A and B are shown apart, each in its own frame.
Chain A
Amino acid sequence: MTVHSVSIKDLSLQYGNTQVLENLNLDIEQGEFIVLLGPSGCGKSTLLNCIAGLLDISDGQIFIGNRNVTWEEPKDRGIGMVFQSYALYPQMTVEKNLSFGLKVAGFKKDEIERRVKKASDMLQIQELLQRKPVELSGGQRQRVAIGRALVREADVFLFDEPLSNLDAKLRSDLRVEIKRLHQRLKNTMIYVTHDQIEALTLANRIAIMKDGVIQQLADPHTIYNRPVNLYVAGFIGSPSMNFLEGQLCQGDEDVFITNNGTVIPVASYDFMQPLNGNTNAVLGIRPEHIVTGSAAEEMPFKVEVDIDIVEPMGSETLVWTKLAGRSLTVSCDGDQQLEPGQRILLGFNPGRGSLFDAESTQRL
């Protein structure tokens, strides 16, 4: 049997009649950075709380470091946890916040000092040690909260939306810092977020959750480029993927015909299994995979469209137009001069898109 850092087997959780998590299985390797991603209410934070032992589960088992911790107290599970609201003890100084857990556990004074020093050096919060949490900024508070997890020298770190309370600038700073921390410590980290940028930038693997079920567990590249179903495809990516409904027709050359008759050749598409007859399908294509102007000439599919709306975003410009009766967004170079009403040529390679079965919503 291989040793997983964290292993969740058939985990279920009910609140009364509501099934929050259902038969969930997840194996996490040593040193892996796993991100649980999903909209609010999908059960990602609940799952994290179950791993931490803060919630009693209804069924299943949880292993941490190959030890069955299903019935163990949070403190005995070898975890450190960072919360969204920082959850620092307000009446204690930063130093006391960091050392509280160690004192409770009965560590010797010099050992506590050593660990606090190590953590505060690592997070560069040495000069804050004698301050109270109210005197700190949001970013500093979250550093202290991370420090409180660090001093436990646990094998597994749990992050529950740690950056969600910070403003955009701090969020990206601290994100890099967490990544740096992971590269340095090489601990297993489980990170819950609803922010897909955080997920894509930090994770070794992302688990996308919906209604208490993991939809797809894969590395960020696969999640982004080869989503397993319509839900994942629509959830990941900002601006989100364009969807065209239609029929997939088998022939000498496979084609996708949209509901109003636009024909899109899909010979370049890498099907999961060979096509079997005609099927109702949905074609998804990301806005940045659609090209305009001369680059569009060489694409397997190209079409002339009118621009509806132009949204300049600085580095890129988002163009809203219509294709096959459906609204379509195209991400263009920010330097291009574009006006509403202007006619442009656009094209894309369906091979870079995704095809889903219209009924099962699974990837074809």
Chain B
Amino acid sequence: MTLSVRTPVPGNMESVLSGPRGPRKHQLSIARIGIYAFLVMSALFFLMPFWVMIVTSLKTLPEIREGNLFNWPRDLTIEPWINAWFNACTGRDCNGLRPGFWNSVKITAIATVLSITIAAINGYALSFWRYRYANVIFGILVFGAFVPYQVVIYPLIIVMRELGLFSTLASIVIIHTIFGMPILTLLFRNFFASLPMEMFKAARIDGAGFWQIFFRIMVPMAVPITVVAVILQLTGIWNDFLFGTVFAGRQNMPMTVQLNNIVQTTTGVREYNVHMAATILTAAVPLAVYFISGKWFVRGIAAGAVKG
């Protein structure tokens, strides 16, 4: 038994439906196949170097000399990885990348936390506590983003020397904090500026002061933008080479600098497999950050773009 109930709109003639109806059908058109083909090819093209690095790092040196760049290793070995981590030589020291890794962890962790904390306070103060000259100060800060690093390195070296900090962990952390400030402040200021001013006013009527509003209301809301900032700083500081070479000193040499030293060491045989392994190890951290946080990263950027 079929029962069809039709409820025409009152005061409106019911019309017979003809032609396309309901949801549109999706078909794999030629254009779509072309797009996918292009995407797959681009992906393969950009993955190629990475493939070469991985297979080379797993080959023995004699096999590398045969020159078959893309081949899967005949005698699979993880020796180069162990060497890269524990006993590759940088100059006279043969301790591998391990010390550099821990130095980078130290520098990145401290500088990331410090710079984001300061930038968040900056951004909050700039968008809610409209003190005099706030815009001028903000302008100067943002201008800092356009200053080429190389220009200020020498003066900074002198400043650090005069402060007695040159070649210390403190100096490299301070440098990263300073250079992260323009972009991070901009990020936080724009985020806080997108929040309703009335919320801040309500908090003031509720009697909360500068720090109470910051910690109890603003910080909990700023989680997405903080994740973006962490990603920016983590990858930026980890990948830094210039400041690491200049300011960190031998004891705090970051992983990137050490990698360079390993690869550039000119005595003896060039151990391509060790170099490849070392490079992948150094790049692993930012790579992991991107893979893990990809969704968050996009979400954070989108959150800044859409005014809530």
Contact = CB atoms under 8 A, between A and B. Distances in A.
B203 interface: yes
Interface string B186-223: 00000000001011011111111000100011001100
Given A100-B206, A105-B207, A84 B212 contact: no
B201 A75 contact: no
B221 A74 contact: no
B206 A148 contact: yes
A54 B205 CA distance: 8
Contacts of A275: none
B202 A104 contact: no
A91 B221 contact: yes
A81 B202 contact: yes
B212 A89 contact: no
A160 B201 CA distance: 12
* Most chain A Cβ neighbours within 10 Å, of B198, B204, B216: B198
B198 A85 contact: yes
Interface residues of B, number: 16
Main secondary structure of the interface of B (DSSP, over half): helix
B198 A101 contact: no
Contacts of A145: 202
A142 to B, nearest CB: 12
Given A81-B201, A87-B198, A75 B221 contact: no
A155 to B, nearest CB: 14
B201 A89 contact: no
A23 B170 CA distance: 56
B199 A74 contact: no
A100 B199 CA distance: 13
A90 interface: yes
Interface in B154-205: 196, 198-199, 201-205
A84 B196 CA distance: 10
A11 B48 CA distance: 72
Question: Which bracket fits the contact residues of A?
Answer: 20 to 34
Nearest to B199: A87
A84 B202 CA distance: 11
A291 interface: no
A91 B202 contact: no
Contacts of B207: 73-75, 101, 104-105
* Most chain B Cβ neighbours within 10 Å, of A52, A54, A73, A148: A54
Contact of B202 (A49, A73, A83): A83
A284 interface: no
A233 B273 CA distance: 88
A86 B202 CA distance: 9
A331 B220 CA distance: 55
A246 interface: no
Contact of B221 (A79, A84, A90): A90
* Most chain A Cβ neighbours within 10 Å, of B196, B201, B203, B204: B201
B198 A104 contact: no
A90 B221 CA distance: 8
Contacts of B199: 85, 87-89
A258 B206 CA distance: 58
Given A90-B221, A91-B221, A75 B196 contact: no
A74 B208 contact: no
A52 B206 CA distance: 11
A80 interface: yes
Interface in A102-142: 104-105
19 contacts: A49-B201, A73-B204, A74-B201, A74-B204, A79-B205, A81-B202, A85-B199, A86-B198, A87-B196, A87-B199, A88-B202, A89-B203, A89-B217, A90-B221, A100-B203, A100-B208, A105-B207, A152-B206, A160-B198
3 cross-chain pairs, A with B, having the tightest CB-CB distances, nearest first: A101-B206, A75-B207, A87-B198
Given A100-B216, A104-B212, 12 more contacts: A54-B204, A73-B207, A80-B205, A81-B202, A87-B202, A88-B199, A101-B207, A104-B206, A104-B208, A145-B202, A148-B202, A152-B206
